[in-house]
Structure formats: structure tokens, C-alpha cells
């Protein structure tokens, strides 16, 4: 199916930042011509850029493909990351939380904590956290992205800027010792930058695919990040430079299925 091929192409591009046409044909068991048509169609959608021999992931909208695809990518790792991250949250905390597929798993877990004050642009996270009546939840207003169930835009950014939070929890497209924390999408970047600005402690949730990638827009230098929560795939060679910067690293354990 075409959508399944699109999902495969975007998953490979997200992981490797480059997809070779011949390899794509082999992985998907289709002809080179089919791959070529798929790449051109995805390029027309602004999802990638075709280059000689394949495609690269370097367009501003590249990582903003269908939310269902993004949620299902590294789903086990993302859930484990959220299970670890909830241990960093204490009753009574004030939290600013970005709407991202990596942070979605926090929603039901937040209801296990008491007396939280939460501002988020995620409709889902807000609804789940509010299932504990002791929690106070603010949904940052803005333009609704009905597919992703989140608010975006200038009003959203301004809503975050009106408050202060003990902890800001967010994700990103890339983490690099050289280039810092980056994001592909500019609207996402504006929201995350606001969350970092208003939070005493910045907590970045990032699965293994985000390390040593560089996105379109810089969010902050790594010295602004207090804690990174990641998964068991990330090796110590990648984490060591971050530890030396004084960043607390929390690695989620692999859960048995």
C-alpha cells in the first residue's frame, strides 16, 4: 500500500537522515520506479528533498508527518521514557508540557500525581491529567491542530510566557554536542523555546533516534538543559559528552513485552 511505503520511507529518513533509492526498493520489495514516484510525491508534500540516488530529510516540515506514524515510531521506547520521566515529578509541582508524541505517554501518568499545576498545549495530556481532580490544568490557547489534538501559533506561545513553572517537559528533533537542541518545525520550536524560558528546570525527553541529529531551528544550547530522559539504545559514547556538561541523564530500562 502506498501509505505503508510512505511510512517506511519517512521512518528510515527520520532515523538516518538519508534514504538510498536502491535500498528503499529492496526493503519495500518494489521497483525503483515506484520508489522514485513515492519520493517525488513526498517531496511535493514538503516532507523530504529528492537528491541524486535517493532523498534527504532537511525540509522544515519533514518531521511533521501524520501523528499516527510518529506515535507508532519507537512507541515502546517513548512509553518507557515517560514511565521514567514521571519519577522526576513530585506532588505539588508546576509543569509546562509540550504537545509531542514523545510526551503523550505522560498524560495518564500525571493523574497518579496530586496537586499539580499544569500548562500544556496538548488537549490529550490536559484531559488525562485532569482525571485527578486535585490537579489544576490550563490548556494554552491558539490555533487547533485537530489531527495532533494540540494548539499552536502565536497565542499558544504567549500563553506559556504568562506563567512560570518548576519544570518544563518537552521533546526535540535533534540533540548534538556541537549544535545543541534543535527542531525541524518552526512553530514547534517557538512553543518549546517559550517552555524553556519559563521553567526553572528543563527536562528533555528524547528517544535514541534524536541523538547527533541537527534540525532546522535551534532551541537552546545544551547547557540550558538540566535533565535528558532517553532509552536503552543510546550508548555511553553518545551520553558521555552530555554528562560532562553537567546534564543529568536518566535512561529508561527496556520493558519486556
The arithmetic mean of pLDDT across residues 105-130, rounded, is 96
Q: How far is CA 124 from the centre of its chain?
A: 15
The pLDDT assigned to 73 comes to 57
Asked whether the predicted pLDDT for residue 186 surpasses 70, the reply is yes
Residues 35 and 111 in one domain: no
Residue 146 has pLDDT above 90, yes or no: no
Residue 65 lies in a domain: no
What pLDDT does residue 189 have?
A: 92
For residue 14, which of 54, 50, 47 has the smallest C-alpha distance?
Answer: 47
Q: How far is CA 10 from CA 7, 16, 18, 159, in A?
A: 5, 10, 10, 32
pLDDT beyond 70 at 184: yes
Q: Do 180 and 223 lie in a common domain?
A: yes
- 69 occurs within a structural domain: no
Residue 225 in domain = yes
Question: Residue 219: is its pLDDT beyond 90?
Answer: yes
pLDDT at site 257: 47
Q: Is 235 in the same domain as 152?
A: yes
What's the pLDDT band for 70 if we cut at 50, 70, 90?
Answer: low
* Residue 11 pLDDT grade (very low, low, confident, very high; cuts 50, 70, 90): confident
Res 118 pLDDT > 80: yes
Say yes or no to pLDDT of 256 above 60: no
What do you get for the CA distance between the two ends of the chain, in Å? Answer: 28
Q: Report whether pLDDT(60) > 60.
A: no
Q: Do 214 and 172 fall within a single domain?
A: yes
Task: Please give the residue range of the domain that contains residue 154.
Answer: 74-251
114 forms bridges with which residues in the sheet? none
For the chain, how many structural domains are there in total? 2
Q: Clarify whether residues 23 and 113 are in a common domain.
A: no
User: Does residue 256 fall inside a structural domain?
Assistant: no
Residues 52 and 155 in one domain: no
Torsions phi, psi of 118, nearest 5? -125, 135
Judge if 118 and 232 occupy the same domain.
Answer: yes
Q: Are residues 201 and 138 in the same domain?
A: yes
The answer to whether residues 16 and 83 belong to one domain is no
Domain of 122: which CATH number? 3.40.50.1360
Amino acid at each position: 500500500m502506498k501509505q505503508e511505503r510512505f511510512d517506511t520511507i519517512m521512518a528510515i529518513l527520520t532515523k538516518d537522515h538519508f534514504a538510498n533509492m536502491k535500498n528503499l526498493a529492496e526493503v519495500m520489495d518494489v521497483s525503483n520506479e515506484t520508489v522514485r514516484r513515492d519520493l517525488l510525491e513526498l517531496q511535493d508534500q514538503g516532507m523530504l528533498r529528492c537528491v541524486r540516488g535517493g532523498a534527504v530529510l532537511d525540509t522544515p516540515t519533514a518531521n511533521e508527518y501524520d501523528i499516527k506514524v510518529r506515535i507508532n515510531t519507537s512507541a515502546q521506547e517513548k512509553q518507557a521514557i515517560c514511565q521514567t520521566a514521571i519519577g522526576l515529578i513530585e506532588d505539588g509541582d508546576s509543569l509546562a508540557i509540550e504537545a509531542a508524541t514523545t510526551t503523550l505517554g505522560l498524560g495518564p501518568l500525571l493523574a497518579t500525581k496530586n496537586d499539580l499545576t499544569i500548562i500544556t498545549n496538548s488537549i490529550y495530556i490536559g484531559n488525562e491529567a485532569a482525571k485527578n481532580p486535585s490537579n489544576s490544568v490550563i490548556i494554552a490557547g491558539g490555533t487547533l491542530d485537530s489531527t495532533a489534538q494540540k494548539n499552536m501559533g502565536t497565542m499558544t506561545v504567549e500563553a506559556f510566557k504568562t506563567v512560570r513553572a518548576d519544570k518544563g517537559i518537552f521533546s526535540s528533533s535533534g540533540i548534538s554536542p556541537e549544535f545543541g537542541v534543535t527542531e525541524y518545525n518552526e512553530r514547534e520550536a517557538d512553543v518549546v523555546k517559550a517552555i524553556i524560558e519559563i521553567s526553572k528546570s528543563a527536562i528533555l525527553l528524547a528517544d535514541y533516534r534524536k541523538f547527533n541529529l541537527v534540525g532546522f531551528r535551534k532551541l537552546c544550547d545544551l547547557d540550558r538543559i538540566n535533565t535528558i530522559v532517553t532509552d536503552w539504545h543510546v550508548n555511553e559514547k553518545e551520553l558521555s559528552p552530555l554528562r560532562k556538561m553537567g546534564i543529568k541523564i536518566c535512561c529508561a530500562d527496556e520493558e519486556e513485552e
